[in-house]
Amino acid sequence: MNKNGTLLLLFLASFFFACTRKISPQSQGGSGTAKIDSTKGLKDYYGKLFPIGVAVTPRNLQTDEAGLILRQFNSLTAENAMKMGPIHPEQNRYFWTDADAIVDFAQKNGLKVRGHNLCWHAQTPRWLFKDSATGNDVTKEVLLQRLRDHIHNVVQRYKGKLYAWDVVNEVIADDSATYFRKSPWFQICGEDFVAKAFEYAHEADPNAVLFYNDYNTEQPVKREKIYRMLKKMLDAKVPVHGVGLQGHWSVNNPSQAELEKSIQLFSSLGLQVQVTELDISVYSGRQGGQLIQGAQQQGQQAQFTPEMEQQQLEKYKMIFDVFRKYQKQITGVTFWNVSDRSSWLDGRGRKNYPLLFDASLKPKKAFWDVVRF
């Protein structure tokens, strides 16, 4: 063979090698044997099972993250833009710009949108619980009227563009002695505001799938309390259709057994189950609503160590194995933030690495274990 022929052969061989590397799971650091196509995103691997979503800010949609979002996800949640404080800052003024930007992006690109959220004790506007003339707390009647106006205005604006809403967020207390969280909602209205919120949302959009959303849903005592509240509402024909397990988990929480119990218990009520705010902290402990272990070390920079990488990968693999096992009950999985470039957990003491994409938006090893099945 002459020199040109040898060069051509070498070129073809290296081209072939590059192509096989692209689809070889081993080259992605994974342990399975199935063929992986790295041109596919999470939404494609899970396309027949359930939508895979991500919580975003309008800013995420204007940077290089937009490309990653479109390639990997087929559902969006507004990280903050639809919460009551940001979207309804004054009694007679709504701020639609950010929420509209997210919904427009989704419409343009054919993504689903989950609304988040309509009634929560946190990120509330200042005016909400107070009588502006006296400065005192408003009465139950006034507060329920305000809740109704808010829900009607927000839900109707996005009617037909959002398929689901987290109607009520985090009303069950964490401590075992207390049933309901002692929020201003509860203090002014008792338990009634929860059912009312669902009724108002259903009036405003009868087609929307309505969720109760909470964290620590795999903790037995809290799980029982949530179950009790949901059962009571269903018995009273309140239009609640699903339960959101937030999924702010960590390398040592939850166990497979507790996660499965929660999915089984909630779906035994005939409710859909969605994982609505998934991330896996590289530090141990429960995250949602509480300080995670080590959070007192304010401002410390932390490395993503090989040990963290391995523990996180095993947890991601376990939970996605469970999600696929319960694919009939689970109707959506949404990640909370796009990549390790920035996560809400960074604000809890030290840098965290809770997602499937690193700061340069490349898939981490855990990604390959999630898509290999």
Among the residues of 35-90, which ranges form H helices?
Answer: 42-45, 65-72, 84-87
Nearer residue to ligand GLA within complex by CB, 213 or 331: 213
Q: Answer yes or no: are the C-beta atoms of 301 and 239 closer than 8 Å.
A: no
Q: Please confirm, yes or no, whether 170 is among the known catalytic residues.
A: yes
Q: Which is nearer to ligand GLA, 138 or 171 (CB)?
A: 171
Residue 169 Cβ, how far from ligand GLA at the closest point, in Å?
5
- Pick 65 or 277: Cβ nearer ligand GLA: 277
As a whole number of angstroms, the distance between CA 100 and CA 142 comes to 28
Give the residue with the Cβ less far from ligand GLA, 29 or 184: 184
Closer to ligand GLA by Cβ: residue 28 or 339? 339
- Residue 219 identity (one-letter amino acid): Q
State in angstroms the smallest separation of the CB of 159 from ligand GLA. Answer: 22
Q: Is 307 a catalytic residue?
A: no
Structure tokens at 193: 């505001």
Nearest distance from residue 219's CB to ligand GLA, in Å?
15
183 binds ligand GLA (CB under 6 A): no
What is d(CA 142, CA 45) in angstroms, rounded to the nearest whole number?
48
How many helices and strands (H and E) does the chain possess? 12, 9
CA trace torsion 91, 77, 159, 200 (10° rounding): -50
**Looking at beta carbons only, is 45 or 185 nearer to ligand GLA?**
185
Q: Is 288 in the site for ligand GLA (CB under 6 A)?
A: yes
Catalytic residue among 170, 191, 218, 258: 170
Instruction: State the number of binding residues for ligand GLA (CB under 6 A).
Output: 8
Q: Select from 137, 344, 348, 358 the one that contacts ligand GLA (CB under 6 A).
A: 344
Q: Is residue 277 within the footprint of ligand GLA (CB under 6 A)?
A: yes
Hunting for tokens 């705010």 — which residue is that?
277
Query: Of these residues, 65, 79, 218, 277, which one is catalytic?
Result: 277
Q: Which of residues 17-56 bind ligand GLA (CB under 6 A)?
A: none
Would you tell me how many other CB atoms lie within 10 Å of the CB of residue 328? 10
Q: What is the nearest approach in angstroms of ligand GLA to the Cβ of residue 348?
A: 9
With CB under 6 A as the contact rule, the residue among 46, 211, 212, 215 that binds ligand GLA is: 215
Q: Are 147 and 193 in contact (CB under 8 A)?
A: yes
With vertex at residue 7, the alpha carbon angle to CA 4 and CA 9, rounded to the nearest 5 degrees, is 110
**Does 335 engage in binding with ligand GLA (CB under 6 A)?**
no
> Rounded to the nearest whole angstrom, what is the least distance from the CB of residue 174 to ligand GLA in the complex?
13
Binders of ligand GLA in range 114-173 (CB under 6 A): 116, 169
Closest distance to ligand GLA from the beta carbon of 214 (Å):
8
Contact between 266 and 225 under an 8 Å Cβ cutoff? The reply is no
- Helix spans in the chain (H): 3-23, 42-45, 65-72, 84-87, 97-109, 140-157, 184-189, 192-204, 220-235, 256-267, 306-325, 365-371
Residue at shortest CB range from ligand GLA: 344
248 close to 218: Cβ distance less than 8 angstroms: no
Binding status of residue 246 toward ligand GLA by CB under 6 A: yes
Q: How far apart are CA 151 and CA 154, in angstroms?
A: 5
Q: How far apart are CA 142 and CA 21, in angstroms?
A: 64
Please give the positions annotated as active site. 170, 277
Binding residues for ligand GLA, per CB under 6 A?
Answer: 116, 169, 215, 246, 248, 277, 288, 344
